[in-house]
Amino acid sequence: MYTDWTIYLTFAGAGLIMLLPREAKTAICWTALLTGMAGLAVALWGYFTYNSGMNELIRTRGTGLIDLADVPWIPALGIHYHLAVDGINFPLVVLNGFVCVTGILFSWNIEERTKEFFAFFLILIAGVYGVFMAMDLFLLLVFYELAIVPKYFIIAIWGSTRKEYGAMKLVMYSFIGSAVVFIAILVTYFASPAHSFDLFALRSQPIAYNVQVWVFPLMFAGFAVLAGMWPFHTWAPTGHVAAPTAGSMLLAGVVMKLGAYGCLRAAMFLFPQGMEHWRWVIAWLAVVGIVYGAGVALVQKDFKFIIGYSSVSHMGFVLLGLATLNVIGMSGAVLQMFSHGIIASLLFAVVGRMVYDRTHTRQLDELGGLAKAIPFACVTFVIAGVASMGMPGFSGFWAEFQVLIGAFKMNPWLAVGAAVSIAITAAYILNTIHKVFFAEEEQAHAGSGESRWQLPPISLPEKIASVILLALLVIIGFYPSIMLDMIKANVELFPGITK
């Protein structure tokens, strides 16, 4: 299993791009694409190898974890360079690979400062791979913060609509979040008798209840900022809107998952009693976020803001699933991270790359009738949209359905609250589809019948990338066990989980 090579390959790709002359745009794009594909191939190969040997592994060793690297890094503080994979982070590693490759394909038209764009892009991707595989709190924080700065430049240089404001807001929120996590990590280290930053060493010697109760919310909230938990979500819509297409894809696709993953892997893993103590607060905040995000999305006039707020809503499902502390809810949460990563990437690709780059507007009132001008975008958006509504047959269904069952087990009112949002989601998605792709067509029908849009056709890289992401939605939708079995088997081993 060489899944840790995803990190090194991606860093190497970024380094190689920095060495290329800036005029060689084609070479830069191809280097980035090949790097992304190499990372994805390594991740996928590892994924299927792991999947086939997992049951055997869990039966013999009682854990689903496979170490990739574990060497002392800073022995003075008990810091290890510890990377490992299991069924919880593997889907996310693979997700990152897919978002990376498709993000590069959707950025094929970047003409301005191509070299720097792909260098920052790959550094961010490498950092994300690192966070997903790090099993040492310090190492996790290192990768987590490493991923912050490239986001600033990607948004501030290549973004649109108040890009500098959006970029700075995003960076400040994430950095303050990570400062809070930093505090929690220091306290954890000194409160634990283990004298190590290694998650499993820390876990093996439980931390006192009175410490757990106040450190857990610090660490959870610090990570949850990046997961877009209400009321810390306000960076997300502005950041998504300001970012260039690949930037929004990364933000919604993987960066928000970093936060949720941190909550799960670090906060919930280390502080089961703290989680027990705070789970109701988290669950209700999640429900508020779900309904609030969907409600705000309903009244937006800007196409991209709709998707931005819908991300807040869907990430609420992840947090709700985590708070249920039962196998079905948590498996749903992990699957939702993957599923929403794909759906959000697809939606942002349609909004940013296919529509905005061609029409130069995102106002619902100004758009309309695009179905005829760019039918491919319409089809993609409709499929991704219905997947986002939780339609059976797509990955979103399995994820949100399981979260709802889990929430129902915890408290039926939670499930009712969250279920309301599914209706609202259907409303804003259908409304958007209508306004953007069809609305004017009806009026035009009376007149000439010609579409007023004269748009360049959808290019090949866009089509390839969309097909890859759409295929994933359908594959997981029809054959969820390819991912769900792995997640379930590992979630069952998570400490403090009920059936």
Partner 1 sequence: MTSMYLQICGRLTAEIVLAVVALAVLVLDLILARRTVTMSARMQMVACVAGFGLIAAMIVLVLGWDQEPVVLLGGTLVMDQLTILFKFVVAGLSLLTVVISIRYDVGRHVGEYFAMLLFGTIGMMLLVGAEELIMIFVALELTSISLYVLTAFNKASPALARNSGEAAIKYFMFGGISSAFLLFGLSYVYGLTGVTSLDDLSRIISQPGAVHASPMLAAGMLFVIVGFGFKVAVVPFHLWAPDAYEGAPTPVTALIATGSKVASFFVLLKLMLVSFGGMAGSAFWGHFASGWTMLLAVVATASMVLGNFAAIAQHNVKRLLAYSSIAHAGYILVGLVAATKMGATSVLFYLIVYALANLGAFGVLAALSGRAGGEDMANFNGMARRAPFMSLLMLVFLLSLAGIPPLGGFLGKFYLFAAAVQRDPQQFGLLWLVIIGLLTSAVSLYYYLIVLKHFYVEKPVDASRIETPVYLNVALALVAAGVIALGLFPQALLALLDNLVGNL
Q: Which residues bind partner 1 (CB under 8 A)?
A: 73-77, 116, 138, 141-143, 145-146, 148-149, 152-153, 156-157, 164, 168, 171-172, 175-176, 179-180, 182-183, 186-187, 189-191
- Give the whole-angstrom CA distance, residue 250 versus residue 124: 9
CB atoms within 10 A of CB 61: 10
- Give the whole-angstrom CA distance, residue 31 versus residue 15: 11
- Give the whole-angstrom CA distance, residue 2 versus residue 176: 33
The neighbouring-strand residues paired with 208 are none
Query: To the nearest whole angstrom, how small is the minimum distance from the Cβ of residue 473 to partner 1?
Result: 35
Query: To the nearest whole angstrom, how small is the minimum distance from the Cβ of residue 365 to partner 1?
Result: 31
Q: Which amino acid is at 3?
A: T
**Helix, strand, coil shares, percent, the chain, to 5:** 75, 5, 20
Report how far apart, in Å, the C-alpha atoms of 295 and of each of 167, 256, 310 are: 25, 20, 9
> What is the torsional sign of CA 149, 297, 95, 283?
positive
Cβ proximity of 229 and 315 under 8 Å: yes
Q: Which is nearer to partner 1, 183 or 426 (CB)?
A: 183
* Chain centre to alpha carbon of residue 369: 31
Q: Which is nearer to partner 1, 122 or 386 (CB)?
A: 122
Q: Which is nearer to partner 1, 8 or 73 (CB)?
A: 73
Q: Which is nearer to partner 1, 94 or 185 (CB)?
A: 185
Per the listing, tokens 């940013």 go with: 352
Q: Which is nearer to partner 1, 197 or 338 (CB)?
A: 197
Q: Which is nearer to partner 1, 179 or 471 (CB)?
A: 179
Q: Which is nearer to partner 1, 143 or 220 (CB)?
A: 143
Q: Which is nearer to partner 1, 33 or 219 (CB)?
A: 219
Q: Which is nearer to partner 1, 187 or 482 (CB)?
A: 187
Q: Which is nearer to partner 1, 55 or 205 (CB)?
A: 205
The full 3-state SS of 104-138, as one line of letters, equals HHHCCCCCCCHHHHHHHHHHHHHHHHHHHHECEHH
Query: To the nearest whole angstrom, how small is the minimum distance from the Cβ of residue 151 to partner 1?
Result: 11
Query: To the nearest whole angstrom, how small is the minimum distance from the Cβ of residue 360 to partner 1?
Result: 20
Cβ proximity of 51 and 58 under 8 Å: no
DSSP 405-450: HHHHHH-HHHHHHHHHHHHHHHHHHHHHHIIIIIHHHHHHHHTT--
- Cβ neighbours of residue 79 under 8 Å, at least 6 residues apart? 72, 73, 136, 138, 139, 197
Query: To the nearest whole angstrom, how small is the minimum distance from the Cβ of residue 449 to partner 1?
Result: 44
> What is the torsional sign of CA 143, 149, 9, 338?
positive
3-class SS of residue 66: strand
Q: Which is nearer to partner 1, 131 or 294 (CB)?
A: 131
Query: To the nearest whole angstrom, how small is the minimum distance from the Cβ of residue 152 to partner 1?
Result: 6
Query: To the nearest whole angstrom, how small is the minimum distance from the Cβ of residue 379 to partner 1?
Result: 36
φ/ψ of 144, rounded to 5, equals -60, -45
- Cβ neighbours of residue 198 under 8 Å, at least 6 residues apart? 78, 80, 82, 135, 136, 137
- Give the whole-angstrom CA distance, residue 189 versus residue 463: 49
Query: To the nearest whole angstrom, how small is the minimum distance from the Cβ of residue 173 to partner 1?
Result: 10
- Give the whole-angstrom CA distance, residue 241 versus residue 351: 10
Query: To the nearest whole angstrom, how small is the minimum distance from the Cβ of residue 76 to partner 1?
Result: 5
Q: Which is nearer to partner 1, 57 or 186 (CB)?
A: 186
Query: To the nearest whole angstrom, how small is the minimum distance from the Cβ of residue 400 to partner 1?
Result: 34
Query: To the nearest whole angstrom, how small is the minimum distance from the Cβ of residue 352 to partner 1?
Result: 19
Query: To the nearest whole angstrom, how small is the minimum distance from the Cβ of residue 255 to partner 1?
Result: 16
Q: Comparing C-alpha atoms, which of 381, 327, 329, 299 is closest to residue 496? A: 327
